[in-house]
Chain A
Amino acid sequence: MDSRRAPRAVIDPKVRQVGFFAPGAPPERSHSSPPDPDFPKSSSPPVSDVPPTGNSLSPVMIPPPRHASDNMLLHTRPAASPLRGDSITAGSYNSSSDFFPAPMSPSPSSYSNKVVGEGDLFDGIASPGRGVRGNAGKVASSFPRGGFDMTAMKANSVPASQLTTVSVVNDPPVIAEKDKADKGGGLTVDAKEQPSSSKQQKEKLSKAERRALQEAQRAAKAAAKAEGSKASGAAANAKPAKAAKPSQKVDNASVAGAEKKGSDRPSEKDRKKDVPQPRMQYDDKSRVEKAKRRAVVKQTEARNRVELFRHLPQYEHGSQLPNLVAKFFQLDPMHPAVYKVGLQYLSGDISGGNARCIAMLQAFQEVIKDYRVPPEKALARDLTAKISSYVSFLIECRPLSISMGNAIRFLKSRIAKLPLTLSEAEAKASLESDIDRFISEKIILANKVITKHAVTKIRDGDVLLTYGSSSAVEMILLNAHELGKQFRVVIVDSRPKLSGQLLLRRLVAKGLSCTYTHINAVSYIMHEVTRVFLGASSVLSNGTVYSRVGTACVAMVAHAFRVPVLVCCEAYKFHERVQLDSICSNELGDPDVVSKVQGREDVNHLDGWANKDNLQLLNLIYDATPSDYVSMIVTDYGMVPPTSVPVIVREYRREQLWI
């Protein structure tokens, strides 16, 4: 019996998680909320209750045998769920990243796994590989549903843990509620501005919560376990002050270590490739907390985030700029050039992949120019650490684009490969010229080469369609016009950025004949189009084009009309990552701009609705276009099919190492 049950327990959370995300979720939600009042009364019955109500969802709900026999598990679960909530909100002791190097993202879940001692349930989630990324998020999101009957039961016994009981009603608000509580802490932080007091406040909040939870545990579980968690709680109390620093140090050390091992590069590289990128998952609360403590920019998180995109950071826009400006003179570790660029990212003054990358590189050039090696330190290590800290500042202002990531990687590899014999001045000069070379060769020259290639694909009488505003496409169009080709341009644009208008303005000024339309009309206008030229933020190694949101739509419509789609992208924006959807990695913009229309006061139907629990606004910045819809990628290495992006990545990396 047990042997049969165990795998089920492993599979269970996964299945449930699928149901949670699938379109089948709403009906489930609707019929789960009515019986909800009954739940507290009959703790185990709901199990037998549920399958009849939703037969199609039976694998999604809790299977009967499990509960019928396994009361032990039932008892441990209610205890576990608040603890999880706790560990996520308070988090500091659970994050454990000062014990493990940063890339080991699975650690939180496996750690909690140990703490909770509920191996069978969490093994399913913390399975290596796929489940690694955002597993904490999965835990958080899958739990309320999976354990709702238990939490309800526990709520019966322990009224103190309000947060979790509310969660029974319906799920998204639950988490929103939790977030709110969480953010309440964050908001107060902002209001107070004083790091120490804010920390205390937060500590207080979570402490009360934790106490309640501990009581719950005591009620449910053996005393030994409660003690354990108390101990860890005590540890957490002691920790926060020092938690930030050691971890940072570890980061630096690991970076330095990575650089040090320059000699055995292939193995190092392989390892790097195997491990998924340690990207921050914003639904992993413990890490978010940690990051916040380190952060220079105090970003307030927007409240209602859309379910699928909780792992991405979303901030209230417009609030932090004055703060930062005020702090300009206090922040001595930050170089003014970097600071300036960061603010420009934040305010949106610099946007567009190339512009952002160039601005960042030039800021780093300034940094290097002003850099003095501190006594008793090596340039290679200290400068790398410094750059890393600047980069994390820039990330706080706005998430890095993939092209910027590549540029940073380039710079760091240059620093690491500096010969030790070079004097400080020589090393700095060489780095500055390296950066210059990167900008001129990989960005400016690459654009010219792309233009040269792409122009050959424009014939007289063509109608070219472009979406948004891409610098490469603009250069191509202007160049083709200069060459005297007779063609017409259709510029497709979309709210809220309307960046196509700028492009339109410049093209019309140069005398090109243009048509301007919004993306709603793309299927109509596509009839007359003969070529589609698109820019890209990045091209991933399965040929997926990662670009401004709406690009995928344009490409798909073009594909349906059998119009060739040409993507223009410099090779330095290629990345070896593989991405299948637009969800895993993306950027969230200001949700308010979606609900408002500039210059239209009468469109105010959503005013003041931003904080509604059941309203979630989504403003995605990027999307992923599958390679099937792309006919050709025009890059500085020529025109290649999307299938040979990995080849370029391979060759390009090699070349970059040899520069």
Chain B
Amino acid sequence: MWYRSASFILDNRLQNDAALAPDAFSTSPPGGTGTTRTSMADAPQNPNPNPTISAYYQTRAAHHGVVTSDWLAQAQAAIDQNPDGNATSGSDVRGLDTDKPFGVIDEFNNWRKQPDLAEAVAAIRALAAVIRSSKATTMMELEIELKKASDSLKSWDTTSISLTAGCDLFMRYVTRTAALEYEDFNSAKSRLIERAEKFGEISYKARKVIAMLAQDFIFDGCTILVHGYSRVVLEVLRLSAQNKKRFRVLCTEGRPDRSGLRLSNELAKLNIPVKLLIDSAVAYTMDEVDMIFVGADGVVESGGIINMMGTYQIALVAHSMNKPVYVAAESYKFARLYPLDQKDLAPALLPIDFGVPIPSKVEVERSARDYTPPQYLTLLFTDLGVLTPSVVSDELIQLYL
């Protein structure tokens, strides 16, 4: 599926025909400078300071196979606006591949191309590979190497919360072991690899654990509202359906990347009764909803979540109608962030297709996600167990202090 990814297609096109005319219905504001990542194996040092499309959402789009024409055009337009950006990147990739014996980014991208693998898990696998292929001879050296790799991964995409959190947690989990102190280097290294693999495995299995925990909360005859395409939520619903639970799902449309459409498609395949709503119909349907299930891009220290745009307003509506809001999120998404309000986040931008050309004087809010404060969430289903929002900080303190 990965070969349908937007960037892959873009790569091919670039190789074939470097000069493409800018598309007519470009929605990017004229002032919006910045380049889109043209290849998966971009140079790790400098991701664009102000990308038109967040790399995180790029990956997601690739995984979900959602390649919209406007998206492509948007990317293309951005590249054309900044030609020197694309001129170098194409050749850079190959240069990197030959020069470096092992690149963590390459490894990461290899893993990342598996559609079922979350970005953070890919990063964790890549970091494990760093340890494995390391030629370091002392523990310190290895640790520094690991640190560098994790930093380059993190800087590869600063908008992805789970990538950053996953890298941090990996560093914590793997290097914090008492075994390192009294063993010789080789056995310590193998211990590290063991731990790294274990961590990767835990993270990989997280979704299944969460599905097991969460399905108990779904009861026969209930109506569930879901927002956005979350693989964890899908897993939960799948498991519940397999366990012969009878429930109904209301799916929001999930503008702008129409992730809801895709989820409804998946659910229909599982024979789960599903109904599509436009995003603005949430309050209208809320009275027939029994619970809300959402995924999360990141879980922050306050216990709130950062998730696809629209989650906050759904949570608000649900709160005012006393409906429980459940969040399914793997523990590698726990991030040491503490946003105070919506604007207190690094924005992850996403192009929006309005179907008609937008006059240049009209500003477009293109932020892709919002922050839902903890008081509007009921429970978080994580691989650490079913948590209330306040426990998130407890876990984070224990992980990081």
Contacts and interface: CB of A to CB of B under 8 A. Distances in A.
Interface of A: 457, 531, 564, 566, 631-632, 637-641, 643-644, 647-648, 651
B340 A632 contact: yes
Contacts of B341: 564
B374 interface: yes
B340 A531 contact: yes
Given A457-B344, A632-B302, A639 B338 contact: yes
A259 B123 CA distance: 51
Nearest to A639: B338
Nearest to B388: A643
B340 A641 contact: no
A21 B186 CA distance: 72
Contact of A647 (B336, B338, B393): B393
Q: Is the interface of B mostly helix, strand, loop or mixed?
A: loop
Contacts of B301: 638-641
Nearest to A453: B338
Given A531-B340, A632-B340, A640 B390 contact: no
B401 interface: yes
Nearest to B375: A628
Q: Is the interface of A mostly helix, strand, loop or mixed?
A: mixed
B394 interface: yes
Interface in B34-74: none
Interface residues of B, number: 16
A638 B394 CA distance: 12
Specify which of A531, A564, A638, A648 lies most central, judged by the most chain B CB atoms within 10 Å of its CB: A638
B18 interface: no
5 contacts: A564-B341, A632-B302, A637-B397, A641-B374, A644-B394
Contact of A643 (B338, B344, B390, B400): B390
Interface string B296-310: 000001110000000
A647 B397 CA distance: 8
A255 to B, nearest CB: 32
A647 B303 CA distance: 14
A567 to B, nearest CB: 12
A644 B340 contact: no
A632 B303 CA distance: 12
B242 interface: no
Contacts of B336: 638
Contacts of B344: 457
Nearest to B341: A564
Contacts of B303: 641, 643
B165 to A, nearest CB: 14
A651 B390 contact: no
B398 interface: yes
Given A457-B344, A644-B397, 10 more contacts: A564-B341, A638-B397, A640-B338, A640-B393, A641-B302, A643-B390, A643-B393, A647-B397, A648-B397, A651-B398
Given A457-B344, A631-B340, A632-B302, A641 B390 contact: yes
A457 B393 contact: no
A632 B394 contact: no
Contacts of A651: 397-398, 401
Nearest to A642: B390
Nearest to B343: A459
Contacts of B397: 637-638, 640, 644, 647-648, 651
Contacts of B374: 641
Contacts of B338: 632, 639-641
Given A564-B341, A631-B340, A632-B302, A641 B393 contact: yes
Nearest to A637: B401
A651 B399 CA distance: 12
Contacts of B394: 644, 647
A638 B393 CA distance: 11
A531 B390 CA distance: 22
A207 B278 CA distance: 86
Nearest to B390: A643
A206 B192 CA distance: 77
A659 to B, nearest CB: 15
List the 4 shortest-distance A-B pairs measured between CB atoms, nearest first. A643-B390, A644-B393, A564-B340, A639-B338
Interface string B333-347: 000101011001000
Contacts of B401: 637, 651
Specify which of A457, A566, A632, A644 lies most central, judged by the most chain B CB atoms within 10 Å of its CB: A644
Nearest to B302: A641
B175 to A, nearest CB: 19
Nearest to B374: A641
A641 B341 CA distance: 14
A564 B390 CA distance: 18
Interface in B126-167: none
A126 to B, nearest CB: 36
Nearest to A457: B340
A640 B374 CA distance: 13
Contacts of A639: 301, 338
A303 B338 CA distance: 49
Contacts of A632: 302, 338, 340
A40 to B, nearest CB: 59
Nearest to A646: B394
